[in-house]
Amino acid sequence: MLNLRKKILVAIDGSPASDKAAEEAVRLASGNQSQFKSRIYALLVLPNAPNSTYTDFVPVAPMTESKKWDELRERIFYVVEKCAAEHDIPLEMIVEYGDPVDKIITLAAREEIDVIVIGSSGKGFIQRRIKGSISHKVASNAGCSVFIVRG
């Protein structure tokens, strides 16, 4: 079997499930023993920034421009950064705004990702029916393989 470099996209949100997904993504990347190193893209999708209205005197800045952003970013990306550094895996961290499913699928198509690694929240049947499952929607609509990590 020809084992060339893989592009791995891991969805990050700071939850324990996404931390496990980050660890699995690094494990997948480090398992490639060829001369070509696999690359990990860690994607954090934040909700859309609130729109200012005519009644607002000062528009609200996006989260990434707040004073607490650096500390929050370090906590969210801590596991994937640490694991990738320990295994000498190239890592690209990406922060986008919008719908997580759309952003994950769009980035995967644009970067020609080989596999998406995403954590499962472990929601019950009723919550899944009401809110929907991001991991299920990604697996159903992605143009590449999807590895769902269970908590």
- Judged by average pLDDT, the poorest of 2-6, 9-13, 42-46, 108-112 is 2-6
* pLDDT of 57: 57
| Residue 76 included in any domain | yes
Contact 10, 77 (CB under 8 A): no
* pLDDT of 121: 72
| Residue 1 included in any domain | no
Q: Do strands 7-12 and 145-149 pair parallel, antiparallel, or not at all (unpaired)? A: unpaired
Beta-carbon count within 10 A of 97 CB: 14
What's the rounded mean pLDDT across residues 87-93?
94
Residue 116 CB-density burial (10 A; 0-12 exposed, 13-18 middle, 19+ buried): buried
Contact 9, 43 (CB under 8 A): yes
Number of domains comprising the chain: 1
| Residue 113 included in any domain | yes
| Residue 60 included in any domain | yes
Containing domain of residue 108, as a range?
7-149
| Residue 2 included in any domain | no
| Residue 44 included in any domain | yes
- Residue-wise pLDDT for 51-61, tens only, equals 555 555 555 55
Contact 8, 65 (CB under 8 A): no
As given in the structure block, the two tokens for residue 43 are: 């994607």
- Beta strands per DSSP E along the chain: 7-12, 39-46, 91-97, 115-119, 145-149
- Residue-wise pLDDT for 120-132, tens only, equals 875 555 554 545 6
DSSP type of residue 63: G
The structure's pTM equals: 0.81
CATH number for the domain harbouring residue 82:
3.40.50.620
